[in-house]
Structure 1
Amino acid sequence: MAVDILVTTTEHLPGQDYEVLGEVFGLTTQSKNVIRNLGASLKNVVGGEIKDYTKMLDEARNIAVDRLKQNAADMGADAVVMMRFDSGSIGTDMQSVAAYGTAVKYR
């Protein structure tokens, strides 16, 4: 279920006065499956984009943002400012994505 909360990478929302509620985040860890690993191995030989991995990371970012929005909604926020992403590998077959920012409430 998508939560209707504005998420922006900017520090200020033009025309809005708001109070800071605190840090919010959304996390997900995705695993590469055997078929993706096989395709990646083949692409590693010939070069080029590994579309299955790109799709997996895109999905992971979307999940992380959805969870960030839910975290903000649970705090009573109207928006999230200064949103950023962080990602990293866990071992050789997992990718973690974090979306984080500052939850704010309009005055």
Structure 2
Amino acid sequence: MDAGFCPSCGASFKTERAQVIVVTTPTVPGYQIVKVLGTVHGLTVRTRGIGGKIVAGIEGMFGGEVTSYSSEAEKARRDSLERLIEKAAKMGANAVVGADFETSDILQGTATLFSAYGTAVVIEPIKK
């Protein structure tokens, strides 16, 4: 089940993606920050079902990457970033600077919290 769709009818919850530049640096090259709107974050929590644990256990016995977890982690990272962008746009931002990601095990290790965060800002091109 994709969190971006209604589980009953399958309709998309997502609207056209907001045009928000997201960078890990404190500034955006070629732009100046004209207004700082504050911190912004996007979160998602993913549980580890019994099937995923079994597959991960089997993959883990042979060493190397646990692809079932890697795939889910990548989806969760994308979802947290999309939520960050949506919240920043609602604040009136056209950029997020200092963006970073963090993960934490919660619920006694049965779920993982994925967080994207940064500072929502308004930027404009530097006039020459």
TM-score band (shorter)? over 0.9
- 2:114 corresponds to 1:82: no
- TM-score, normalised to structure 1, is 0.92
Q: CA deviation at 1:82?
A: 0.5
Gaps of at least 5 residues in structure 2 are 1-13
Match of 2:68 in 1: 52
Q: Percent identity?
A: 35
- The DSSP-based 3-state class of the residue aligned with 1:84 is strand
- 2:94 corresponds to 1:72: no
Cα deviation digits, residues 72-104 of structure 1 (max 9, x gap): 011000100000001011122211110000000
**Distance in 1, Cα, partners of 2:18 & 2:71:** 22
Maintained 8 Å contact 1:26/1:99: yes
- 2:30 corresponds to 1:15: yes
- The DSSP-based 3-state class of the residue aligned with 1:70 is helix
Q: CA deviation at 1:50?
A: 0.9
Which structure has the larger Rg over C-alpha atoms? 2
Match of 2:50 in 1: 34
Aligned length: 107
4+ residue segments displaced more than 6 Å:
none
Relative contact order, higher structure (CA 8 A, sep 6+): 1
